[in-house]
Structure 1
Amino acid sequence: MSEPAPGHAENEDHAFHAGPIVAVLDGVTVLPGTDTGCVHGPAWYVRRLGSRLTEVAEESPTAPLADSLAEAIRRVRGDHGDRCDLDNPATPAATVCLVRDTGQTLDYLILSDSTLVTERAGQVQIFTDTRFHKVVAELRRDAVTEDYAIGSSEQAARMRQTVTRKHEFTNQPDGYWVAAADPDAAHQAVIGSLPLTGKTRVRRAALLTDGASCAVDDYAFMDWAELLELVTEQGPEELIRRVRLAEDADRDGYAQPRFKRHDDATVALCTFDK
C-alpha cells in the first residue's frame, strides 16, 4: 500500500511486485524553487525506476540485485533525454528497498533510509542503511529544533540550508548513497541474503519507506515486532492510519521536530509459507 501525504495530490513513493521481486521506492522531495537541472520530478523518477527495474528483472532474473539496480538507473538516465543536467546534485533521486524470493533465499538490497523488517524463528530483525541516518542526523541536529513550527519562515530557511549541505554528502564515499543518475551508486547498497528454508527461515518481511517506519523510528508509539504484527493482522493501511494520527497530534512539530507535517507512506508485506 502506498499513500500520498494528506493534501498532496502526487505521491512521491512507489511500490511494485514483479515476479519474485517486491520493492518500495521513496522519491527525494525537492524544495520549491530548487534548481534541479531537470524537467522531471521525484514522482516521475520513482515510477520510471520501478518500470526499469521490472524490465531488467524480467530480462535477467538471477542477476545480482546491485547489478539490476545499476542497469535500471542507467536506463532511467537515458529516459531523461537531452533536456536535463544530470550532474546537478539535486537531480531527481530515490531511496530503494527491494527483496527477491529465489526459492532458497530472500535476497535484499537497501539504499538510503528505507527499512526492511523480517521475522525468523520468532525473532524480528531490522535492516537499513545506517550511513544515511548518521549523516542526516548530524545535519538535522543543527536545523530541526522545537524552536520553530513546521511551515514557519524560520523553519523553511533552516530546511533549505540543511538540504544544500546534504547535497554535499549525496553519493559520496564519506556520505550516503541514493538512486539518482549515477549507476555506480547501486553497488554501494546494503545487500544480503536470508534463508527461506529450514528452522531459521524468513516467515514474514515488511518493506517500509520512512513515512511508515517513523511509527517506530520517530514517533515510537510501537516497536518493530508490534509493527510487523499490526501490518500482518490489520494490514498496511492501519499502520499508515496510526502514523497520520501521530502526525496530526503534533502538527507544528514541537514534540517531534521534523521538516514536513506529513510524508508519503508505503508498506509492502511479504509472507512465506514453505
Structure 2
Amino acid sequence: MTFSASAGATALNPEGNGCVHDVPWVVHRLAGHMAHLLAISPDVPLADALAESITRTCAAHEDTCDLSNPDSPSSTVTMLRRRSDVLDYLVLGDSPLLVSRSGKIEPILDERMANLDDYSYDAVMAVQNTPDGYYVASTMPEAAYQAVSGSIPVEGVDAAALLTDGASRLVDAFRLMSWEELFCLLSKEGPASLIARTRKVETDGVTASDGRKRKHHDDATAVLVEFVP
C-alpha cells in the first residue's frame, strides 16, 4: 500500500526554460511511472522507483525539449509505503510528511529549499540539484537518492498526512499554527477544510513570515492516512 503527493515546482522563467510542456505534464508522468513501478515491484526501494520514474519522464520529452536547462519543469515528491510491519518514506522538496505515533506528531521534512541564502532567479538556479542547495524531481535521476528517506516501524503509528507545500502554508509560510494543530485540523475536519482555511488566509492578504517571496495562491493537496489496529 503506497500513498504519494507531488507538487509541481513553478518554473521561474517558463518562457525560456527550454521545455514545450507545462509542469502538470511532468507531474502526471512522474506519478504515473511511480504508481506503475510500485505496483509491479512492491518492495523496490522508493528512491530507485523515483529515479527510474525521472529517467522515463525525461525519455518522453528528450527529443522535443532542452533537458539541460536548469529551469526545466520539476516536482516535489512525498511517498509513504506500508510493507507488513514497516513504513517506508521518501520526501524530496518542500512537501511535508507528518506521522502521528500514539498521538505525537513527527514531521519528516526536506528543509533545504527553506534554508537558501538567496532566492533570486540566478541564485536558485545555480544551486538546484546540487549539494550546496536543494533537490527536486526534474531531469536528474540521481536527485532521488538525495531525498530524505528511511523506514520506521508501523507499530504505534495511528495516522499520517502527506502535504504539498500549498497545503502546509499555515505552518511553514504563515506561521499561524504548529504541525500538531495542522494535523488536528486535518484529522477532525478533513483535507477540504484545511485547504479552505489556507485559501481564506491567502485571500485575506496575510503575508508570509518565512522570509521568502511566495505566490499568492499555491496548489494544495492533502492526503490523510489512518491506520486501523
> TM-score range with shorter-chain normalisation?
over 0.9
The equivalent of 2:110 in structure 1 is: 129
* Partner Cα distance (1:110, 1:265) in 2: 16
Alignment of 1:58 with 2:13, yes or no, is no
Q: Which amino acid aligns with 1:237?
A: A
Alignment of 1:83 with 2:64, yes or no, is yes
Unaligned ranges ≥5, structure 1: 1-19, 141-161
* Partner Cα distance (2:209, 2:83) in 1: 43
Tell me: CA distance 1:39–1:234, structure 2 relative to 1, closer, same or farther (3 Å): same
Contact 2:18 2:65 in 1 (8 A): yes
Shift in Å, 1:123 = 1.1
* Partner Cα distance (1:122, 1:32) in 2: 43
Give the SS at the match of 1:101. Answer: strand
Highest RCO, 1 vs 2 (Cα 8 Å, sep ≥ 6): 1
The equivalent of 1:223 in structure 2 is: 178
The equivalent of 1:164 in structure 2 is: 122
Tell me: CA distance 1:255–1:25, structure 2 relative to 1, closer, same or farther (3 Å): closer
TM-score normalised by structure 1 residue count: 0.79
Residue correspondences, number? 228
Equivalent residue in structure 1 for 2:81, among 100, 113, 118: 100
Tell me: CA distance 1:107–1:254, structure 2 relative to 1, closer, same or farther (3 Å): closer
The equivalent of 1:261 in structure 2 is: 216
Tell me: CA distance 1:92–1:254, structure 2 relative to 1, closer, same or farther (3 Å): closer
Structure number, greater radius of gyration: 1
Equivalent residue in structure 2 for 1:191, among 141, 149, 158: 149
Alignment of 1:237 with 2:192, yes or no, is yes
Shift in Å, 1:25 = 0.6
Q: Which amino acid aligns with 1:205?
A: A
Give the SS at the match of 2:26. Answer: helix
Contact 1:52 1:72 in 2 (8 A): yes
The equivalent of 2:136 in structure 1 is: 178
Q: Which amino acid aligns with 1:63?
A: V
Alignment of 1:23 with 2:4, yes or no, is yes
Q: Which amino acid aligns with 2:102?
A: A
* Partner Cα distance (1:169, 1:57) in 2: 30
The equivalent of 1:271 in structure 2 is: 226
Give the SS at the match of 2:200. Answer: helix
* Partner Cα distance (2:132, 2:123) in 1: 13
1:31-73: CA deviations, max 9, x gaps?
4653111111111110110001011112211011101110111
Report the identity percentage.
41
Tell me: CA distance 1:32–1:81, structure 2 relative to 1, closer, same or farther (3 Å): closer
The equivalent of 1:210 in structure 2 is: 165
Contact 1:179 1:186 in 2 (8 A): yes
* Partner Cα distance (2:79, 2:208) in 1: 34
Give the SS at the match of 2:188. Answer: helix
Contact 1:66 1:189 in 2 (8 A): yes
Q: CA RMSD in A?
A: 1.6
Contact 2:174 2:209 in 1 (8 A): no
Tell me: CA distance 1:188–1:33, structure 2 relative to 1, closer, same or farther (3 Å): closer
* Partner Cα distance (2:175, 2:33) in 1: 35
Q: Which amino acid aligns with 1:241?
A: A
Contact 1:194 1:202 in 2 (8 A): no
* Partner Cα distance (1:90, 1:254) in 2: 24
* Partner Cα distance (1:265, 1:171) in 2: 23
Q: Which amino acid aligns with 2:180?
A: A
